[in-house]
């Protein structure tokens, strides 16, 4: 299982980011391995949600944890099979969000 969390910084101690398309980084956990991926949507002039979704799919994420999905991202992620969970903002660190996910404390994101 690859778990992707939107993050404001490039470490697991950074605050998770409530926005999806404009989040600075995607932090991907696979068991104990952590991968840091800059979000191409962060500095994109147009279609941040679309290009961010493309990156999440390319990274083979099974789960996405973020605060909110825009309509374009929702349109492509819904049929993709990626399960999306909601993080509350202001968000704790990525690590704390990941632990909350493992403990089954996160709700699915309705979009």
Partner 1 sequence: MNIAVLSGKGGTGKTTVAVNLARVLHCRYVDSDVEAPNGFLFLQPDIQDKADVSVQIPQIDEQRCNYCLACVKHCQFNALFGTDSSIVFFEKLCHSCGLCSLVCKQNAIKEVPRRVGYVEFGSSAGAECWQGVLIPGEPVTGPVIDALKARLDGDLSIIDCPPGSSCSVVAAADKTDLALLVTEPTPFGVHDLHMAVQVTEKLNLPRAIIINRSEGQDAIIQDYANATGIPIIGRLPFSLEAAQIVSRGELLVDKEEWRQRFQNLAEAVRELIACTS
Query: In the complex, which residues of this chain contact partner 1 (CB under 8 A)?
Result: 41, 44-48, 50-51, 53-54, 57, 72, 75-76, 79-80
The least distance separating partner 1 from the CB of residue 60, rounded to whole angstroms, comes to: 11
Helix ranges restricted to H, 1-111: 48-58, 71-77, 94-102
Q: Which lies closer to partner 1 via its Cβ, residue 43 or residue 99?
A: 43
The least distance separating partner 1 from the CB of residue 94, rounded to whole angstroms, comes to: 25
Q: State residue 39 phi and psi, 5-degree precision.
A: -85, 120
Whole-angstrom distance, CA of residue 33 vs CA of residue 73:
26
């Amino acid at each position: 299982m690859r778990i992707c969390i939107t993050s404001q910084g490039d470490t697991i101690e950074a605050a998770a980011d409530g926005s999806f398309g404009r989040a600075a980084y995607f932090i991907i956990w696979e068991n104990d391995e952590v991968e840091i991926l800059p979000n191409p949507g962060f500095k994109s002039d147009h279609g941040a949600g679309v290009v961010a979704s493309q990156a999440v799919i390319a990274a083979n994420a099974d789960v996405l944890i973020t605060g909110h999905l825009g309509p374009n991202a929702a349109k492509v992620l819904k049929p993709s099979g990626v399960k999306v969970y909601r993080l509350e903002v202001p968000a704790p660190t990525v690590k704390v969000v990941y632990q909350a996910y493992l403990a089954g404390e996160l709700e699915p994101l309705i979009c």
